[in-house]
Structure 1
Amino acid sequence: MNLNECLISKDKNLLQIDRICELLKMTYWASKRDKETILKSMENSVCYGAYYDDVQVGFARVITDYATNFYICDVIIDEKFQRKGVGKKLIKEICDDNSSKSLLGLLITEDAHKLYEKFGFEKDSTSFMCKKRSE
């Protein structure tokens, strides 16, 4: 795979909704989300897609106030494209975006820590709190 042929874009018109739902169903964190919830989350986020041969092979959402913080979530790369630089290219695009460059970046993940560390993310368990969803 030639990484130069992989397009990263935040143009919502390019997003392939069914493909995003398919990719998210394969994750440990979003496997039970229905399409309606996924669409609602996308409406209120900056969405990035990774495309190869006009097929969406990756996705990420960013939630931000454009002043102080941005939160990266729902980062998923198709298994066939993992470990080929697509995730790195996607996260680089997000972190290099002028709207998030000078902001505090946050994310919650159980994996790919080495990838995020390349972009300045550090583990910080001393100041993080979480309110779980109510049933």
Structure 2
Amino acid sequence: MITVDAFVVSDDPAWLDLRGTYDYLQANMYWAAKLSYEDFVRSLAFSAVCLGVYQTDDANRRKQVGFARVVSDRATFAYLTDVFIHEDYRGLGLSKKLMEAVMSHPDLQSLRRFLLVTADAQGLYSRYGFRELGEEGSHWLQIFRG
């Protein structure tokens, strides 16, 4: 758990606002446009790590303002996806704190390969060691059902 002023990053699944996270992804993220709520919930159940960013108050109430999900075997491979910070909370360093929590998570320390796909956040992810596949990428294949 990382605390930044009134914000906490946690991997406690009981803290997640499932409906709020799904609704945000549906409304704001191009990659989630066709995702059903049932598929979203199933994706969380079979993911290695789900992290939420929460605003807390003096009464210990939490409001989820960010999210990241890691699909992984927890030994050699991981895929980072569904990352967001609600637009009302951007510019506070929360995406960096979320990424610090992802990169330091104990279940993800022995990974040989960690992947993600982004159309617009290369600057953020490069700070944590993510690079383009380069020539090595020519060996990768995919089935994409957009």
State whether TM-score is above 0.5. Answer: yes
Partner Cα distance (2:44, 2:20) in 1: 14
Q: Give the drift of 1:111.
A: 1.5
SS of the aligned residue for 1:59 comes to: strand
TM-score of the superposed pair, with normalisation by structure 2: 0.84
Aligned-pair identity (%): 35
Asked if 1:131 corresponds to 2:132, the answer is no
Partner Cα distance (2:67, 2:133) in 1: 25
Q: Give the drift of 1:79.
A: 0.7
Structure with the largest fraction of helix: 2
Q: Structure 1: any 5+ residue segments left out of the alignment?
A: none
Q: Give the 4+ runs in structure 1 shifted more than 6 A.
A: none
**1:11-35 C-alpha deviation (Å, 9 max, x unpaired):** 0000001110121011011022121
Q: Structure 2: any 5+ residue segments left out of the alignment?
A: 57-61
Equivalent residues in 2 for 1:37-56 (5 A)? 37-45=39-47, 46-53=49-56, 54-56=62-64
**Structure-2 residue corresponding to 1:79:** 87
- Could you say which structure has the larger radius of gyration? 2
- RMSD over equivalenced CA pairs, Å: 1.7
Partner Cα distance (2:124, 2:134) in 1: 18
SS of the aligned residue for 2:41 comes to: helix
Asked if 1:32 corresponds to 2:34, the answer is yes
Asked if 1:98 corresponds to 2:110, the answer is no
Q: Give the drift of 1:101.
A: 2.2
**Is the contact between residue 47 and residue 61 of structure 1 (CA under 8 Å) also seen in structure 2?**
yes
